[in-house]
Structure 1
Amino acid sequence: MKIVTFVCTFFATAALAQSGSVGINTSKPDPSAILHIENFNGVPAAATATVSGGAVTGITISNGGSGYSSVPTISFYGGGSVISGGTKARATATLTNGVVTGITINNGGSGYTAAPTVVVSGGNKGVLFPNLNIANLSSTTSPVASPANGLIGYNGGSNTNNKALHFFNSTTNQWQSTIDAENTPKVAYLDFTGSLSALDNAVAGTNALLVVNPPAISGVSNINGFKVVQNTAFGGYSLVLPQGNYLVEVNLNLNSPQESPAGQGGTAPLSGSTYYLMGYFIDFTNDTYNNSTNTFTGGANTRKEVPIVSKVNTNHLATWSYYYTVPANANANIIGGLRLRLGRMQNSTFYDLVNVIPTGSYIKISQL
């Protein structure tokens, strides 16, 4: 309980300093922070990055700093819209007698439109919060009596509640779990843009590229390394994903107008009906994409068929699900490039044009 009392006092002290900054183990606290904790007391190193072709290609050390007792972390901030399609650069530092003498680029990243800021972060310790047994989220007596609003503790006890940081909310009079980033769903949403008409007077088995217009990527997409790339080898646009497992769901809003000319390919409604079997398939082609050279290598197809019974000039929805695996590779730049083709299913009774309507058509990718 002494630890809890200390934490309460600790944060109360910090709250009094909102007009300035509180620094612990640093003589120059960051002015943007009320509380700045750092266990590095030496001279910080400084470096600048060089960008070419959207990737970090070089790092120049302007000051190696001093006083490092362990290898510092190299981080990159800013430099363009990396979140909406690119990947962050990664690098490691070399330390000699407490001085940063070299920085090696492990991955130059992609999507940079300007040179990012290079931050060299020293220190090999963190902040230890009190380890509490928060068995009852509504308890105001145990493990802390009359907890203050905003009190923070880690639930490390033997109970079924989330093993994560919790804070006490006096409005609801409950402990609330903070977000566990590892359990946050990683998804990407793509909306179709532009019109697409395909399979005009085409018999069963015929197929055409599906993603011919650059799709719009939703701002909530958070799969690290995901992007859409124009496939210069096979046409259209491919969904580029890093090594891992994914569920790809394709949802299309389709419409088939009256055939022209009539009777194409044996087109005829179902017996005694005004409906047709407008069956479709998608070929999911697992190409390989080299992230450093921006090149595609053709891969194998997996065909998924969906039978749709509908009238002409009537919107019909079709949905496909595909389990997609990008295998592990020692070269982190060898990743997946998924290509999609829409085709006419066997035994269809309609063989003419189909329009993919952008409104209502989308692709959802979930990282598993």
Structure 2
Amino acid sequence: MKIINFIGVFFATTAIAQSGNVGINTSTPDPSAILHIENFTGTPAVATATVSGGAVTGVTLTNGGSGYTSPPTVNFYAGGSIVNGGTKARATATVSGGVVTGITINNGGTGYTSAPTVTVSGGNKGLLFPNLNIANLSSTTSPVASPANGLIGYNGGSNTNNKTLHFFNGTTSQWQSTIDAEDTPKVAYLDFTGSLSLLDNVSAGGSSLLIVNPPAISGVSNINGFKIMLNTLSGGYSLILPQGNYLVEVNLNLNSPPESPAGQGGTAPLTGSSYYLMGYFIDFYNDGYNNSTNTFTPVINSRKEVPIVSMLNTNHLATWSYYYSVPANADASIIGGLRMMLGRMQNSTFYDLVNVMPTGSYIKISKL
């Protein structure tokens, strides 16, 4: 309500001033107004969510709307997830002919006690700030004479200062650049969820799918186009990433209980000790993924090995770093689908079950 009152005051001012050129949600702001606000011109899409086991398990699209020029944002409100200490569900929309044709759940979230409200928000306009030539950050005469404290403008002039939003700091009498989105690190964090036991009675060279449970995506993840998809070819989940280069860091908190039956595959501790060589590898499969047809194309894998010496019933941390490149393609829909297999390394001296502990196990992706 306070925001509505503020906008109302602003409009009252514009009727008197009749000058300026600032727009919100419009690419061509009314030059006679200080502030020009224009809503989405199409018909908003309508959808409903279903919940099971505290997670959003489905989204039903009841009206695809109209007028969309790009995929809108899908948000989930209420339902108790954040209030109950849970995590918010995430989903993405697909658009064809200006109409939302489908909504895919990327992460069902946790902690929902009732179905949340689904909002599909999008627009075909933008926010335009004044375009200034801020050549001298200390100037109080040009491009604005006696700028007000907190004045915001975009430095779009021919100068060496950052081409980004600037605000005027009245305390220091200088223009300061805001965060440049291009320079902001692009990362994604994924936490492992649920119980996962692998490599039961598996000898050296054997492997199993690593991402079996849908991982939880941290809210600080900001790689545009990143999502998690169920791999229809191999099962498990794949990390979907757009064209570009990435550093993928996998950290697993592992624990091996006593073997059952004893002596499986020649399991024995290292000579004269109670420690075992519990070596592991990860096979990284750089599958292709078509974002339009939701189909995977399998490719050759790259193996990374890590030797670990540990005792039974003792947590041991294994880490891998992998350079992942999604090659450029004229078709922007052809992107990357990275999947992983955890396996038993050669020369291990333990050949039985290993538990992946959700606490302390995570994947970090950095865009390079």
Task: Give the alignment's TM-score, normalised by structure 1.
Answer: 0.70
Please give the per-residue CA displacement for 1:221-270, whole angstroms capped at 9, x wherever unaligned: 11111111112221111111122221111110001112222222222222
Preserved CA contact (<8 Å) 2:41 2:123: yes
Residue 317 of structure 1 and its aligned partner are, at CA, apart by 0.6
Please list the CA deviations of residues 92-140 of structure 1 after superposition, one character each: whole Å capped at 9, or x if unmatched.
xxxxxxxxxxxx66997854997846644499x8632242323x7xx99
Tell me the residue number matched to 2:187: 187
Provide the C-alpha distance between the structure 2 equivalents of 1:320 and 1:109, rounded to a whole number of angstroms. Answer: 36
**1:22 counterpart = 2:25:** no
From the superposition, tell whether residues 195 and 15 of structure 1 become closer, same or farther in structure 2 (CA, over 3 Å). Answer: closer
What SS does structure 2 have at the residue aligned with 1:265?
A: helix
Segments of structure 1 that go 5 or more residues without pairing to the other structure are: 1-13, 62-72, 92-103
How do residues 35-74 of structure 1 correspond to structure 2 at under 5 angstroms? 37-39=29-31, 46-48=41-43, 74=69
Instruction: Specify whether residues 156 and 311 from structure 1 end up closer, same or farther in structure 2 by C-alpha distance, changes over 3 A only.
Output: farther
Counterparts of 1:193-212 in structure 2 under 5 Å? Answer: 193-212=193-212
Query: Which residue type is aligned with residue 209 of structure 1?
Result: L
Matched position secondary structure for 1:254: strand
Which residue identity does 1:329 align to in structure 2? N
Cα offsets for 1:266-305 (capped at 9, x unmatched) = 2222233322211100011112222222222211111111
- Asked if the contact 1:48–1:118 (Cα under 8 Å) also holds between the matched residues in 2, the reply is no
CA displacement at 1:220 relative to structure 2: 1.2
Per-residue deviation, 1:37: 4.1
Give identity over the alignment, percent.
Answer: 62
Equivalent runs, 1:187-336 vs 2, <5 Å = 187-336=187-336
Q: Residue type matched to 2:242 in 1?
A: P
The separation in 2 between residues aligned to 1:133 and 1:179, in whole angstroms, is: 19
Q: Shift of the alpha carbon at 1:351?
A: 1.4
For 1:106 and 1:15, how far apart are their aligned partners in 2? 31
Superposed displacement of residue 203, structure 1: 0.8
- Uncovered stretches (5+) of structure 2, i.e. residues with no partner: 1-5, 48-58, 77-87, 106-116
Cα distance in 2 for partners of 1:353, 1:342 equals: 12
What TM-score, normalized by structure 2, do the two folds share? Answer: 0.70
**Following TM superposition, by how much is the alpha carbon of 1:188 offset from its aligned partner in structure 2, in angstroms?**
1.1
Tell me how far apart the structure 2 counterparts of residues 335 and 358 of structure 1 sit (CA, whole Å): 28
* Equivalent position SS for 1:132: coil
SS in 1 for 2:357: strand
Q: For each residue in 1:311-334, what CA deviation from the matched residue of structure 2 results, as whole angstroms up to 9, or x when unmatched?
A: 111111111111111222233222
Cα distance, 1:361–1:170 mapped onto 2, change above 3 Å: same
Asked if the contact 2:231–2:237 (Cα under 8 Å) also holds between the matched residues in 1, the reply is yes
Name the CA distance, whole Å, in 2 between partners of 1:301 and 1:163: 41
CA shift in 2, pair 1:77/1:349, >3 Å: closer
Task: State the one-letter code of the partner of 1:164.
Answer: T
Asked if 2 retains the 8 angstrom alpha-carbon contact of 1:44 and 1:120, the reply is no
Instruction: Verify the 8 A CA contact 1:185 1:366 in the aligned structure 2.
Output: yes
Q: Specify the SS of the correspondent of 1:22.
A: helix
| Secondary structure of the corresponding residue to residue 338 of structure 1 | strand
Aligned AA for 1:131?
I
In the alignment, structure 1 residue 86 sits paired with structure 2 residue 92: yes
Q: Secondary structure at the match of 1:274?
A: coil
Structure 2 CA distance for partners of 1:168 and 1:128, relative to 1, 3 Å: closer
Per-residue CA deviations over 1:186-206 (Å, capped at 9, x if unaligned) read: 111111110111111211101
Q: 1:107 to 1:180 in 2, by over 3 A?
A: farther
2:85 paired residue number = none
Aligned residue pair count: 321
> 1:343 Cα deviation (Å)?
0.3
Q: Distance in 1 between matches of 2:348 and 2:257?
A: 15
Taking the aligned partners of 1:83 and 1:334, their CA distance within structure 2 comes to 26
> CA contact under 8 A between 2:71 and 2:100: conserved in structure 1?
no
Equivalent residues in 2 for 1:133-148, closer than 5 Å: 133-134=136-137, 148=148
| Structure 1 residues 131 and 162: CA distance shift in structure 2, 3 A | closer
Q: Which moved more, 1:223-232 or 1:146-155?
A: 146-155
Are residue 128 (structure 1) and residue 131 (structure 2) matched?
yes
Instruction: Show CA shifts across 1:42-100 (max 9, x none).
Output: x9994337789989x98756xxxxxxxxxxx94665554699452675x8xxxxxxxxx
